């Protein structure tokens, strides 16, 4: 029976995706171990390290689907690692050629390289999902380029922005993550074949040739030096997921706040029954955003665990390596789940432009007090303009009315700004600064 949300029949597709699980499930991992073992035999056969016929037999006969999983589980619990029990079964499949299986390798060589192969496939999914989100946000940022709304700082209305500007900020984060992903591939997608203490001593003068050929066979980069106990590559991969899901969490948090009843400027896509409450029929909870935020928090913990696991002793770790077995697959599953929820939520995000306008006008012009101050400053000086506008703001706050009305009754203001000028300055749509240009710059990067 499943015991965590990642493998639960109830929750697994809320916190992960079938595609990402398929990469990290046991059968796939055993297939990767077998792939590395057979690739090693093939290159060693070509280089004359083991008999060519033995290499052919190993490559042809090793079959991960025929493994006795019950026996493999039992022996792994005894040994502490799965490779020795795996090699025993694969060697038996190969007959006499089996004695040349795993030649010159150590357990960590096979496990590390298999994990890198998993990471390569997982990053391909991540990359595709990021590209989908980039396209969605670019399209929607362009659509809402000129839609004014209240910008908020410290959860208070600050100055007007446009919704397209907000979307462009989200998009720019994802652009940077796409760039990071490309840049880290050369550091992360690196093979591992180094032998017992990392020196390839058992293969004599053929060690480096075998390592190079194995990495080429698996389409991985060859390491400059053994990384058995130097774990920055895999730690970088998971910490990249921490950055990515952190950005998704920020987006989700924004959506939750903007979807609150009092604000109601956006809403997650409507699906019958989604986000419903068992006791409050009126509720429409932002479920995707909540799941994204939960995934982001969990990935952050795994990113920290991977950093902790970097502190390894001498040439082979006595425990930190095992922590990676927990952190890495779960981080990828959770990141995949967060991306899945984000794609659904952002593609169908409902935007209430009328509500944005209503909220923008709820302070009766106070949100653009800075605009009036800057309009008056050339005539009165900045400090005097500040004091005049501040006084008018207090009148609006205490007695009601609009900022334009209050300003029109201030002699030193009316002397320099007529009613038309005041209406123009107190129109929030006229004070969004370079928001539109920033949208154009971010969206325009798509070519």
Instruction: For residue 190, report the phi and psi dihedrals to the nearest 5 degrees.
Output: -125, 130
Contact 57, 20 (CB under 8 A): no
Q: How far apart (Å, rounded) are the C-alpha atoms in residues 31 and 135? A: 34
* Three-class DSSP category at 162: strand
| pLDDT for position 125 | 97
Q: How far apart (Å, rounded) are the C-alpha atoms in residues 211 and 193? A: 6
- Delimit the domains of the chain by residue range: 12-145+160-351, 358-444
Q: Which residues contact 143 (CB under 8 A, 6 or more apart)?
A: 164
Count Cβ atoms within 10 A of the Cβ of residue 261 and give its class: 0-12 exposed, 13-18 middle, 19 or more buried: exposed
- Return the bridge partners of 148, or none: 162
181 alpha carbon, distance to own chain's centre: 10
* Three-class DSSP category at 193: coil
Residues found in the chain: 447
Q: How far apart (Å, rounded) are the C-alpha atoms in residues 215 and 117? A: 11
| CB atoms inside a 10 Å sphere around CB 360 | 21
Q: Among 3, 8, 202, 277, which one carries the catalytic annotation? A: 277
Give residue for tokens 């380029």.
Answer: 145
- Phi-psi group of 268: left, alpha or beta (phi > 0 → left; psi -120 to 50 → alpha; rest → beta): beta
Contact 141, 172 (CB under 8 A): no
Contact 236, 184 (CB under 8 A): yes
Each residue's pLDDT expressed in tens, for the chain with a length of 447 residues: 777 888 888 888 888 999 999 999 999 999 999 999 999 999 999 999 999 999 999 999 999 999 999 999 999 999 989 999 999 999 999 999 999 999 999 999 999 999 999 999 999 999 999 999 999 999 999 999 999 999 999 998 889 999 999 999 999 999 999 999 999 999 999 999 999 899 999 999 999 999 999 999 999 999 999 999 999 999 999 999 999 999 999 999 999 999 999 999 999 887 766 554 445 555 578 899 999 999 999 999 999 999 999 898 888 878 888 899 999 999 999 999 999 999 999 999 999 999 999 999 898 888 888 888 888 888 888 888 898 888 988 998 888 898 888 888 888 888 888 888 888 888 888 889 999 999 999 999 776
| pLDDT for position 17 | 93
Nearest C-alpha neighbor of 335 from the set 250, 253, 241, 239: 241
Active site residue 277: yes
| pLDDT for position 387 | 87
What CATH code is assigned to 12-145+160-351?
Answer: 1.20.200.10
| pLDDT for position 273 | 60
- The fold of 358-444 is Ribonucleotide Reductase Protein R1; domain 1 (1.10.40)
Q: Among 3, 65, 154, 278, which one carries the catalytic annotation? A: 154
Which DSSP symbol is given to 20?
Answer: H
Contact 87, 104 (CB under 8 A): no
| pLDDT for position 275 | 54
Q: How far apart (Å, rounded) are the C-alpha atoms in residues 111 and 314? A: 19
Of the CA atoms within 13 Å of residue 84, those in its CB half-sphere come to 8
Please, where are the H alpha helices in 100-223?
A: 107-143, 163-188, 207-217
Contact 370, 357 (CB under 8 A): no
Nearest C-alpha neighbor of 307 from the set 215, 237, 391, 226: 237
Contact 177, 171 (CB under 8 A): no
Active site residue 177: no
Q: Which residues contact 302 (CB under 8 A, 6 or more apart)?
A: 238, 241, 242, 326, 327, 328, 330, 331, 334
- Return the bridge partners of 387, or none: none
């Amino acid at each position: 029976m499943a015991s965590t949300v990642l493998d639960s029949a109830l929750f697994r597709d809320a916190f992960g995706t079938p595609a990402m699980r398929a990469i990290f499930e046991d059968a796939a991992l055993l297939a990767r171990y077998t792939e590395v073992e057979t690739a090693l035999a093939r290159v060693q056969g070509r280089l004359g390290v083991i008999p060519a016929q033995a290499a052919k037999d190993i490559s042809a006969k090793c079959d991960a689907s025929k493994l006795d999983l019950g026996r493999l589980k039992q022996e792994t619990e005894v040994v502490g690692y799965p490779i020795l029990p795996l090699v025993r079964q694969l060697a038996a499949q190969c007959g006499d050629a089996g004695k040349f299986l795993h030649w010159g390798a150590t357990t960590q060589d096979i496990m590390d390289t298999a994990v890198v192969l998993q990471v390569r496939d997982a990053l391909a999914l991540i990359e595709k999902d990021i590209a989908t989100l980039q396209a969605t946000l670019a399209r929607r940022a362009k659509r809402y380029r000129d839609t004014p709304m209240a910008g908020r700082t410290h959860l208070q209305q600050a100055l007007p922005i446009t919704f397209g500007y907000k979307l462009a900020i989200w998009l720019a984060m994802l652009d940077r993550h796409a760039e990071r992903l490309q840049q880290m591939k050369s550091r992360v997608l690196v093979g591992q074949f180094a032998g017992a203490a990392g020196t390839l001593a058992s293969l004599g003068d053929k060690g480096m040739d075998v390592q190079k050929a194995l990495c080429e066979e698996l389409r991985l980069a060859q390491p400059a030096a053994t990384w058995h106990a130097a774990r920055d590559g895999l730690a970088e991969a998971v910490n990249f997921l921490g950055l990515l899901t952190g950005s998704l969490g920020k987006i989700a948090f924004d959506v939750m706040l903007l979807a609150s009843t009092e604000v109601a400027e956006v809403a997650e896509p409507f699906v019958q029954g989604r986000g419903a409450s068992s006791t409050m029929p009126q509720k429409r909870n932002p479920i995707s955003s909540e799941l994204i935020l939960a995934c982001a928090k969990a990935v952050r913990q795994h990113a920290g665990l991977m950093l902790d696991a970097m502190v390894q002793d001498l040439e082979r770790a006595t425990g930190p390596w095992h922590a990676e077995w927990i952190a890495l697959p779960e981080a990828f599953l959770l990141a995949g789940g967060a991306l899945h929820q984000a794609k659904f939520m952002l593609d169908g995000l409902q935007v209430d432009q009328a509500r944005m306008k209503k909220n923008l006008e709820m302070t009766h012009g106070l949100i653009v007090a800075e605009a009036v101050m800057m309009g008056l400053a050339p005539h009165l000086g900045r400090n005097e303009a500040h004091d005049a506008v501040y006084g008018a703001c207090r009148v609006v706050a205490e007695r009601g009315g609009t900022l334009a009305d209050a300003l029109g009754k201030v002699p030193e203001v009316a002397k320099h700004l007529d009613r038309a000028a005041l209406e123009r300055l107190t129109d929030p749509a006229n004070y969004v600064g370079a928001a539109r240009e920033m949208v154009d710059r971010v969206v325009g990067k798509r070519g």
